[in-house]
Amino acid sequence: MQFWIGKSLSELKAASLTSRLIALATLAAFVFFSLALAEEFPTGSEAEGTRSYDDFDTPAYCGSSCHTDFYQQWKQAMMSQAYTHHWDEIEYFELAVPHAKRDEKVAEVEAGCNGCHTPLAFLAGDVPPPRPEEGSRANESVSCDFCHTVTGFVGDTPYNFNWVSEPGDVKYGPRTKEEATESPNHEMAKSDFINTAEFCGTCHNEKSPYDIWVKSTHLELIEGPYYEEGYVCQTCHMTQGKLRSASMGNTYDDSWMHLFHGAHDPGKIAGTVELRINPDLNEVVPGEPVKFTLILFNQKTGHKFPSGSVEDRIVWVHVEARDADGSIYHLPVDKKGFEGEEYTIASDVLAYQDMGIALDDPDFEGVRREDVPIGDRIFRMPYFDPQGRMTIQQWNTASLGVDYRMGPRETKVETYTFEVPFEAAPGEMTVTATMNYRKLVKPVADFLEVPEEESEIILVNEHSTTVEVLP
């Protein structure tokens, strides 16, 4: 049984008035219907402990002889590591669980994190699950059989694991039984829901216990330009190509690849934003100011960049000049003066003091907010705890700061006014703007002993220009 909003915004706009009225009536019926079914199909926190691990096949069972390519793709994707990934493990066991036990307001996160990171453990009531090194079925993370048993969501907005899972012999996919080769192992049924952005939104939208949207990737997509043009999450993160979907099945020209490549894939990050920098003068003398204008264009993402775990991610631009003798000079960004701008310019201030709750250290002073050259522009949205301190813990987010991320197809303009040093060597001076990305701010990663790969710098893009320094 499926219940979901079946029309995209573009389809509704293109429809006749009569069709739109019918669609709105259908939507109203859907909301009523989904509410009526909430008890029949427990969802969100109500679904905890309503199933068992044995209700679901293991990924190895699906991929050992039938869906071999999809299985291998999934094994290399973050979907297969949503529970076992080192930062997720540290964040859950070292911060979320102890915090939940000490603060009733956020107690729900002990179970709730698992609703998206290891839904089988959540459904089985295995909370908290065993540590990854114990090798339990919680390690299957977001598994094949889980996704292919999700039939819809309850409510009018997908978020906080409000998916409905109906495990059994029927597996839901993008084709009808007549379109696909008959499976010797299970029944097949077509799911219109599985191809929607709303399917992904059940986990890629999240509200904190303080009713704050701390993840809104799906919402960012539907508010942007691509959704109205027919793009959904799967368009970019599960690209289509010619592939045999099962070893005994047909080869399809439009098979959905199970790549799920995104924030943890350097190839996906590369080129997200285009950079171009130019001076206002071509020739300068030492002591003279020259203004460099940097144009940034987000030409790649259908949502904002960065998105998802915005409290973890950090994107910044570093600009430096190199004179003819190789001496290097750092160019801080010119301030624009908007409210909250101080959180978008790198400094040496401390933050994340609320980690002290989980650490049982009320005097914890925090760690440096970011390990980025002071004065560099940061593209972020800060999260604040109930005391107004910047937090890395999405579950403890009571408010949000200025959103200075890059929207889809958005252009930002930054300027850098540089007074050429008197000691600068005559000749060509090269000025380079580099956009960098980290999955996790380095001071937090270092403090919690997260493997270095989580805070490595990934190049997004760069561009250079030149000026001539006169004698």
**What is the per-residue pLDDT for 416?**
98
pLDDT tens-digit map of 323-348:
999 999 999 999 999 999 999 999 99
> In sequence order, which residues have a C-beta less than 8 Å from that of residue 432 and are 6 or more positions away?
277, 319, 320, 321, 322, 462, 463, 464
For residue 228 the two structure tokens come to 């109205």
Q: How many domains does the chain have?
A: 2
Whether the predicted pLDDT of 314 surpasses 70:
yes
Higher per-residue pLDDT: 99 or 39: 99
250 found inside a domain: no
**CA 365/CA 443 separation, integer angstroms:** 13
Torsion of CA 197, 214, 380, 410, to 10 degrees: 30
**Residue 3 resides in a domain:** no
Q: Can you give the residue range of the structural domain that contains 214?
A: 9-235
**128 preceded by cis ω (within 30°)?**
yes
Domain boundary among 196, 214, 235: 235
Q: Is the pLDDT of residue 32 over 90?
A: no
Contact 196, 4 (CB under 8 A): yes
Average pLDDT rounded to a whole number, residues 438-442: 98
The DSSP line for 135-156 is --GGGG-S-HHHHTTEEEESSS
Domain-located, residue 291: yes
Q: Given a cut of 80, is residue 37 above it in pLDDT?
A: no
pLDDT at site 11: 41
Q: What letter does residue 369 receive in the DSSP assignment?
A: S
13 pLDDT above the threshold of 50: no
Residue 123 has pLDDT above 50, yes or no: yes
Alpha helices (H) in 76-163, listed in sequence order? 86-90, 97-102, 109-112, 114-117, 119-123, 144-147
Q: At residue 111, does pLDDT exceed 70?
A: yes
How sure is the predictor about 76, in pLDDT bands with cuts at 50, 70 and 90? very high
- Is 245 a member of any domain? no
pLDDT for the residue 15: 39
Give the end of a domain, one of 191, 220, 235: 235
122 & 174 share domain: yes
Indicate if the pLDDT at residue 28 is higher than 60: no
Share of the chain above pLDDT 70, in %: 92
Q: Nearest CA to 250 among 181, 334, 345, 322? A: 181
Token representation of residue 76:
């290399």
Given pLDDT bands bounded at 50, 70 and 90, which one contains residue 35? very low
Give the model's pLDDT for residue 39. Answer: 55
Average pLDDT, the chain: 92
172 and 98, same domain (yes or no): yes
Residue 30 clears pLDDT 60, i.e. is over it: no
Instruction: Give the pLDDT confidence of 411-436 residue by residue, as tens digits.
Output: 999 999 999 999 999 999 999 999 99
> What CATH number is given to the structural domain containing 324?
2.60.40.3880
What's residue 33's pLDDT? 43
Average pLDDT over residues 362-379: 98
